[in-house]
Amino acid sequence: MRLKDIHNSDDAVQVRSTGQSAIIFILSIGAFAVVNTQLGIIGILPMIAQYYQVSISTAVLMVSIFALVAAISALIMPLLLSGMERKKLMLLTLGVFVVGNTVSAFAPNFTIALIAYVLPAILHPVYCSMAFSVAAASVSKDEAPKAVSRVFIGVSATMVIGVPAINFIASALSLQIAMLSIAFINAIALIATFALIPSMPVKEKLSYGAQLAVLTKSITWLAIIAVVLMNGAVFGVYNFLAEYLLKITRLEGNTVSMMFLFYGIANIIGNIIAGKILRVNAVKTVVLFPVVLAAIYLGLFLVGEFAVPMALVISAWGVLGGIGGNINQYWVTSAAIEAPDFANGLFLSAANLGTTIATTVCGLFIAGFGIQYVVFGGLMFLVFSMLPILLRVYKTSPRKQLTA
């Protein structure tokens, strides 16, 4: 959706009174609520495993299958729903998340909890794709990375507030109340959207053929593959962080929550930094990302038994994680600028597919060698990511298409 669609709507006066900054802020809240469903339970996966008497590798299916469903949906749903009025689409998405989260909180067994938790993932990429597109369209091309980073701050807030808060609630009260808190956050976003977001009809809609045409370009596929690997490298390891801190660093529940808080605060800092460095030199930022993250993972492996060094390494990891989300979104959308909504769907698909594959691979490393060696799964994905990154840079740099 282009911003002029908003300005040309019957609710243009209401939009002007609300203000684009306010709209982006509410979209950030919605992004926080939606992403919190996907990532908020990471800190309580060991508790879920214990409650339902399943292994940690089985419990993590709530994250990996959610990501897989979102990856498949991101290829289809943003395309199919690209003509639907935006406010109605937001309300539909948030409503589905409230219901799914509530049912999963009271599920009598793991299978029902998994199904109820994963079903909302069908609409997850729809909301996030729309939020990124609106943010990017609200400013000039040069300022787009910075605007998108503001929405990513809502995603990062999941790391700062969602993950540690849910971990704390589960430890202090109960697993069910922690799961209900996720539904409650989505309900707040639903109410805020209903009360404050104006109607946003789509006046101009690209044809399906025009949007799908971006898939005929080789740089689009190179970008997709790179994002699968880069995002997989981050979340394949992050999804097992709670287990790592419990068994290797030997921390207690409240201290684990604190470590997730360090990661989350650093993640927000990374988002702020990303909006600036992508404007200065996007290509250099992308090329250096796997190298720097690999160094951090080696540090994670070497100091994993020591709490204070781990806090420092996790904070550095959080900064890179925040930068990485922005890098991934930029890398795909800059390769498919002709269809911004569909490009954001491709980004979300690639990111979630990477999470699913890497979580499985890292789980195999754990099964074969132990939890301490999960970082080597992440390192493997980082090494592989360099090839599609460098190939795209080689194919496009002579024509100077990737300047920030």
Look at residue 404 and tell me if it is in a domain: no
d(CA 351, CA 135): 19
* Average pLDDT taken over every residue of the chain: 82
CATH of the domain at 209: 1.20.1250.20
Q: Global pTM?
A: 0.72
Rounded mean pLDDT, 240-266: 85
Look at residue 338 and tell me if it is in a domain: yes
Residue with the larger pLDDT of the pair 265 and 21 = 265
Over 60: is that where the pLDDT of 362 sits? Answer: yes
Look at residue 312 and tell me if it is in a domain: yes
Nearest to 306 by CA among 314, 317, 316: 314
In order of 222, 275, 334, the CA distances from 271 in angstroms are 24, 6, 18
Look at residue 38 and tell me if it is in a domain: yes
Contact 236, 378 (CB under 8 A): yes
Q: Lowest-pLDDT range, 58-72, 196-210, 299-313, 353-367?
A: 196-210
Look at residue 143 and tell me if it is in a domain: yes
Look at residue 258 and tell me if it is in a domain: yes
d(CA 382, CA 44): 27
User: What is residue 18's predicted lDDT score, i.e. its pLDDT?
Assistant: 47
d(CA 277, CA 203): 34
Look at residue 392 and tell me if it is in a domain: yes
User: What is residue 349's predicted lDDT score, i.e. its pLDDT?
Assistant: 84
Residue with the larger pLDDT of the pair 267 and 143 = 267
pLDDT band at 291 (very low <50, low <70, confident <90, very high): very high
Q: Domains in the chain: how many in total?
A: 1
Tens of pLDDT along 167-207? 888 888 888 898 898 899 899 889 988 887 777 666 666 66
Helix (H, G, I), strand (E, B) or coil at 185: helix
Structural domain that includes position 95: 3-399
Look at residue 350 and tell me if it is in a domain: yes
User: What is residue 9's predicted lDDT score, i.e. its pLDDT?
Assistant: 39
